[in-house]
């Protein structure tokens, strides 16, 4: 088995954000961030979709249950991460709704 690679939490979040914006392919993201395998991106996307973004911060080899992150993490840090998650989610939802609105205007006016 090959050497396991750890990606910082910020890289994981940035990759998910860029992927959700739809501006980059998996291969482009792999090249930009030095990710070895596209399945890693798919895993991060699955975590995000399932609301498991707390897993972005977990160390290699640790599979924490929800809310059971590293013991040294205090309540304030957990709340800040939760706020950041919901802010990112809200921003992406707004972008999606804008794209959907433009698409609807474009195709409903052709009738």
pLDDT tens-digit readout, 48-94:
888 888 888 877 765 555 555 555 567 888 888 889 999 999 999 99
Buried b (16+ CB within 10 A) or exposed e, 75-93: eeeeeebeeebeebeeeee
**Would you say residue 111 has pLDDT above 70?**
no
pTM of this structure: 0.56
- The ranges assigned to domains in the chain are 9-108
Tokens representing residue 2 in the block: 């090959």
Question: How many other C-beta atoms lie within 10 A of the C-beta of residue 65?
Answer: 8
More confident residue, 31 or 69: 31
pLDDT on residue 108:
86
């Amino acid at each position: 088995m090959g050497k396991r690679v750890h990606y910082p939490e910020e890289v994981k979040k940035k990759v998910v954000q860029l992927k959700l914006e739809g501006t980059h392919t998996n291969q482009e993201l792999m090249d930009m961030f030095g990710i070895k395998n596209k399945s890693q991106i798919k895993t991060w996307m699955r975590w995000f979709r399932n609301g498991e973004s707390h897993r972005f911060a977990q160390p290699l080899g640790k599979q924490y249950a929800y809310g059971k992150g590293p013991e040294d993490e205090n309540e304030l840090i957990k709340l800040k991460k939760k706020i950041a998650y919901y802010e990112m989610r809200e921003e992406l939802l707004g972008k999606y709704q804008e794209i959907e609105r433009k698409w609807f205007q474009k195709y409903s006016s052709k009738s």
